[in-house]
Amino acid sequence: MKNIVLLCSAGMSTSMLVTKMRAAAEAEGIACNIDAYGLSEASAMIPSAACVLLGPQVRFHLQKLQQQYPSVPMASIDMRMYGSMDGKGVFQQALKLIGE
């Protein structure tokens, strides 16, 4: 099962987005774990992730995290999709990162 990790400041601001992403995954019949964590939990969560998406408020950490974990696909969440809580769009972004 794929593990999609979202990172934000404290893990709270992306909780609604995670709920919508889970609904999108279920609608498409794709089994995966989707969870949000604070940036302070990154080192514990990234190694087991199929991909990592960073919220807009922590996107400036992207390059550093990519250097630390070069084998894990990462990207920042599109600001428009994040602002509109487009769970389907962000889920599709995650699938593209994973290569599906």
**Domain carrying residue 55:** 2-98
Number of domains observed in the structure of the chain: 1
Q: Which residues are catalytic?
A: 8
Q: Which string of b and e fits 6-42 if b means at least 16 CB within 10 Å? A: bbbeebebbeebbebbbebbeeeeeebebbbbbbeeb
- Is residue 55 scored above 90 in pLDDT? yes
Residue 81 confidence (pLDDT)? 95
Task: Give the mean pLDDT of 31-44.
Answer: 94
Full-model pTM: 0.93
Task: Give the mean pLDDT of 16-28.
Answer: 96
The CATH code of the domain that includes 71 is: 3.40.50.2300
CB 17 within 8 A of CB 35: no
Residue 11 confidence (pLDDT)? 62
Task: Give the mean pLDDT of 40-69.
Answer: 96
Residue 34 confidence (pLDDT)? 98
